[in-house]
Each structure stands twice: as C-alpha cells, then as structure tokens.
Structure 1
Amino acid sequence: MIELTPAEIERYQRQIMLPGLGEEGQKKLKSTTALVTGVGGLGGTVALYLAVAGIGKLILVRGGDLRLDDLNRQILMTNDWVGKPRVIKAKETLEKINPHVEIEAIPEFVTPDNVDILVRGADIALDCAFNFEERNLLNEACVRWDKPMVEAAMNDMEAYLTTIVPGKTPCLSCIFPEKPEWDRWGFGVLGAVSGTLATLAALEAIKLVTGLGQPLLGRLLTMDLGNLHFAKHRPYHDPDCPVCSKISQQKINQTLNLVNSEQLTVNSVLS
C-alpha cells in the first residue's frame, strides 16, 4: 500500500478533511496514473488541478508548438515559450507547482500507432483533444483496455462533460454516432470557459478515483456558459455500438454468470 509522506499529508490536509476522501482517498490519488490528451487550454488546466490534488503520475500528450494566440487560456504557458513544444513547458510548470507528482511529457498527437501504449500505461484517461479523430482513437482504446475516460469538450460558450466506464456506460461512439464537423480554428475561445470545464473534468476524475461524491456515470452534462444554463441528459447506450457493444455484452454475461453461481450455491445450501 502506498503511504503518504509527512509533507504530502501537510500539503493535502484541507482536502483530506473532506468526508468521503480522507487519507485513504488521498492514497488512491497517489497510486493513480492519469493520461491527459490535448494539453492546451482545457487539458492543461485539467492537468494542473490533478497535480495540485496529488495525483501520482501524469502522462501529458500533445503535439505542436505554443502559439501566441494560445496564451489567452493556456495557463501553464509563458510568453517566452512561444514557438516551443507546449507539453514540455506544461511538465516544467507542473513540476514547480507540485514536485511530488511524477510527470511524463510526450510531444506527440494521439495516433493509431501510440494510443494503445498510452492507454495501457494509465489508470484513467481524460480526453481534452481538439478533434474527433483523436477523441475516437482514445475512446476505442479505453474500451479495448477497459479503462475509464472523462470526456470533455467545448465550442464557443458551450461545453459538455461525461464519464465513460467501458461496459457500464455509453461510450463516445454511442453519444456521437455521427461526428460533427470540428474546425479547431473555427470558433472563439474564452479562457474562463475552458477553465470552468477543465475544473469540472478534473473533479470527475478525482471523484472516480477516490469514491468522493457521484460522478457523471451514464449522464451527459451540457453547459451554456453564456447564460449559465446547466442540464443533465441520459445518453443512449447503443446495444449495437461498433465500439462498445461487445464488451458491454461480455460484462452482462459475467454478471449473469455470477448471479447464477450464487443462486446455485444458495440452492445447494438449502437442499
């Protein structure tokens, strides 16, 4: 069992005080590796709040260099880093904020060649990519390797958030069977909007890891932040989903087998 050092207990004492988290929840955070893709205005802020909460390890994945027009929302970045790989700066900043967290920076986009290695190396994934190609790849890999995924995306002043657990909840392909057109440069971005969504996404991961509160399992939270309108929806769990239907049926069969086995045991005892 992973133990907390005296310095960690002092650092996290205010959240350890939370009913439902405590030292056991803090130890669960410390023993968890989180994969964050798309480390920009959304993913960078997610990584920040996971780091200050005491996640054990962060795997940060994002290709491309920092642009000047990223700086209205990418809070891990500094002006002198424009033109350099942003994920390297994210690692540097987070290590200064919390040296207790192990951080691996991978300056690549999510591709068919690397997605399985990335997902297998993590306990939970947070999908903050800027396009549906990367999102679909991560969703499929998380289903394939039975890893939970927090899905977060935004467009202008609108955002959505859900938590996906393979075999138990709808996957991204169930929720968006027809992928919308997504132009990464085609909409405005306000840093406070991406930051709002990011803090909620980090909170979802913390809840899922520690058991604190109730995560958005089988629920899609939509947000109109221009009018501060929030709504929860129950997305369709497609029994014929090309991505998750097979694993869902396998888990149903496992549950039925367990129930039947327990019933047989009870019957044998009664007879």
Structure 2
Amino acid sequence: MLPSLSPTEVERYRRQMMLSGLGETGQRQLKDTTALVTGVGGLGGTAALYLAVAGVGKLILVRGGNLQRDDLNRQILMTDDWVGQPRVFKAQETLSRLNPDIKIEAVCEYVSADNIDTLVQGADLALDCAFDFQERDLLNAACVRWGKPMIEAAMNDMEAYLTTIVPGRTPCLTCLFPEKPDWDRWGFGVLGAVSGTVACLAALEAIKLITGLGEPLLGLLLTMDLARAEFTKRHPYRDPNCPVCSQRHLANLPQRLATLQPTAHC
C-alpha cells in the first residue's frame, strides 16, 4: 500500500499533482521510492536536488572526497565556506533544508566492489552520475544483478548522453560501451549549465519511470551536442552475449521492478 500524504506534503506538491499523468497516486509513488544517486557533483547533486523537491521519499547520496573550489562552478548544493570538507554531507544538509519531509542518507565513500551490492539492494532505482567508468561499471553490474532500473547520465565538454536501463529489457551500460572510452576526469572542461541540463533530464527520467508520467528513454540513447543545441535519439544495440546483462533471467527479477515500469509505453 502506498503511503499517504500529509497536509504539508499536499500543499508542497500541489502544482505538480495537477499534472494529468502524475496526480496524487504518482506523488505517493514518489514518496514510496528510494533513489540511489552516485557521484554527487555537478550531475548527481543537481539531479538529487530535483528528486528532493519532487518528493522522492528517500535519497541515498554516495560520494567520497572533499569539496574543492573548482567544483563550485557546477555543484549547486555546495557553498564556498565548505571547501575542504566532505561534499556529500553538505549535499545532505542543503537538501534537508529544501525538503525536510524526505529522508536523506549520506555515504561518504566512493562506489566500490565492497559497498555496491549493499547500496543497490537498499534502493528502488539508481542514478549513475559517477565521474569514471570504473564506478559506472560497478553500478551497472549491480543493478543488473539485483534487477534495479538505472538512469545513466554523463557529459564531456559540451556533449552529453542519457538513457534509462531496465535489466532484462534494455541494453545495459556494457552493451553501450563494451570498450571503455579514454576518459580523464581532469582532462576536459566543465560548464555548470551543461551538467545541470543533463542532470535535470536525468531526474525527469527517474520521475517518469517511478510514476508512469510521459515516456522514459527505454531502449533509447539520447545524445546531446549542447554547443549546437542538437538532440538525437539513437537505438543502441543490446548484445545477446553481453558479459553483464545476457545472463540475467527475467523470472528472477524482483517484483518491485514491475511497479517501476510504465507498461503503457513499453
């Protein structure tokens, strides 16, 4: 049974509940959801912000390391006085002030083989906003292993991509990138408006997947050249021999996955 909304929540979310594809039921579905966000920086922090204000019931924020001053051009949950301190705790503090009605767990660690299964098992879906492919591959494999949907978002310079991965139904990250790009986290420029644009779209994908609002990017890869404002939807190849997702059996996917799939658009 979905949780009820308090009078404060009804008031807070009144305008978005006016959307015909969301309504009170969709809002209660958001409240009933736990979202894992990895890499709480320009992408993950902004995505987490919009999930928080939309009323996702619990956020698990995962990011190791301390805030640096050159993070501040894009990491909108941070403030200058926090430089040198663990950024994930500042993200937790900022989001808690924005929406005290939700739960926020801060994990001051990088994604690793030691923690990824526990993190994924504790969530209903994940947003992959990590800064390198090592963390992304770990999250992708765990989401396939535990049958959890994953919103995959990344940017490089003025380009970006976005897709929604549902184990057993869409290509996974390894299908998309069987050979990993040579991606140096320090080797490209970052404009806050670019990471913010992709992050907003990633949060919207999660909201659509949870509530059935609109049509998520299932089996579609959205590529963006933001220098030219060019957006293209591509149909990625699902590798039947993928070493990650070809070994999953649909019969073993947890029941929770079915409630997060908008069957009207599949």
Whether the TM-score (by the shorter chain) exceeds 0.5 is: yes
> Kindly tell me: are residues 88 and 245 of structure 1, through their superposed partners in 2, closer, same or farther at Cα, counting changes over 3 Å?
same
Which residue number in structure 2 is paired with residue 91 of structure 1?
92
The Cα shift of 1:186 comes to 0.3
In structure 2, give the amino acid aligned to 1:246: Q
Q: Secondary structure at the match of 2:216?
A: coil
The separation in 2 between residues aligned to 1:211 and 1:82, in whole angstroms, is: 39
Q: Deviations over 1:211-233 (max 9, x none)?
A: 00000000000000000000000
Which residue number in structure 1 is paired with residue 190 of structure 2?
189
Q: Deviations over 1:52-73 (max 9, x none)?
A: 0000000000000000000000
Which residue number in structure 2 is paired with residue 251 of structure 1?
250
The separation in 2 between residues aligned to 1:155 and 1:192, in whole angstroms, is: 12
> Kindly tell me: are residues 215 and 78 of structure 1, through their superposed partners in 2, closer, same or farther at Cα, counting changes over 3 Å?
same
The separation in 1 between residues aligned to 2:164 and 2:26, in whole angstroms, is: 19
Q: State the TM-score, normalized to the length of structure 1.
A: 0.92
The separation in 1 between residues aligned to 2:198 and 2:32, in whole angstroms, is: 25
The Cα shift of 1:251 comes to 2.4
Q: State the TM-score, normalized to the length of structure 2.
A: 0.94
Structure 1: runs of 5 or more not aligned: 255-271
In structure 2, give the amino acid aligned to 1:83: G
Length, aligned pairs only: 252
The separation in 2 between residues aligned to 1:121 and 1:199, in whole angstroms, is: 23
The separation in 2 between residues aligned to 1:159 and 1:5, in whole angstroms, is: 38
Which residue number in structure 2 is paired with residue 42 of structure 1?
43
In structure 1, give the amino acid aligned to 2:66: D
The separation in 1 between residues aligned to 2:246 and 2:182, in whole angstroms, is: 25
The separation in 1 between residues aligned to 2:60 and 2:35, in whole angstroms, is: 6
Which residue number in structure 2 is paired with residue 106 of structure 1?
107
Which residue number in structure 2 is paired with residue 24 of structure 1?
25
Q: Secondary structure at the match of 1:150?
A: strand
The Cα shift of 1:49 comes to 0.2
In structure 2, give the amino acid aligned to 1:200: L
Structure 1 residue 78 corresponds to structure 2 residue 84: no
Which residue number in structure 2 is paired with residue 213 of structure 1?
214
In structure 2, give the amino acid aligned to 1:146: G
> Kindly tell me: are residues 185 and 20 of structure 1, through their superposed partners in 2, closer, same or farther at Cα, counting changes over 3 Å?
same
The separation in 2 between residues aligned to 1:253 and 1:22, in whole angstroms, is: 32
The separation in 1 between residues aligned to 2:104 and 2:214, in whole angstroms, is: 27
The Cα shift of 1:246 comes to 1.3
Which residue number in structure 2 is paired with residue 177 of structure 1?
178
Q: Secondary structure at the match of 2:233?
A: strand
Q: Deviations over 1:221-269 (max 9, x none)?
A: 000000000000000000000000011xx22899xxxxxxxxxxxxxxx
> Kindly tell me: are residues 18 and 110 of structure 1, through their superposed partners in 2, closer, same or farther at Cα, counting changes over 3 Å?
same
Identity among equivalent pairs (%): 74
In structure 2, give the amino acid aligned to 1:238: D
Q: Deviations over 1:156-183 (max 9, x none)?
A: 0000000000000000000000001111
Q: Flag the structure with higher helix content.
A: 1
Which residue number in structure 1 is paired with residue 122 of structure 2?
121
Structure 1 or 2, whichever has the larger Rg, is: 1
Which residue number in structure 2 is paired with residue 14 of structure 1?
15
Q: Secondary structure at the match of 1:126?
A: strand
Q: Deviations over 1:122-166 (max 9, x none)?
A: 000000000000000000000000000000000000000000000
The separation in 1 between residues aligned to 2:7 and 2:222, in whole angstroms, is: 38
The separation in 1 between residues aligned to 2:178 and 2:217, in whole angstroms, is: 20
Q: Deviations over 1:73-115 (max 9, x none)?
A: 0000000000000000000000000001100000000000000
Which residue number in structure 2 is paired with residue 158 of structure 1?
159
The separation in 1 between residues aligned to 2:89 and 2:160, in whole angstroms, is: 27
The separation in 2 between residues aligned to 1:195 and 1:127, in whole angstroms, is: 14
Structure 2: runs of 5 or more not aligned: 254-266
RMSD across aligned positions (CA) = 1.1
Runs (4+) off by over 3 Å: none
Q: Secondary structure at the match of 2:210?
A: helix
Which residue number in structure 2 is paired with residue 267 of structure 1?
none
In structure 2, give the amino acid aligned to 1:198: A
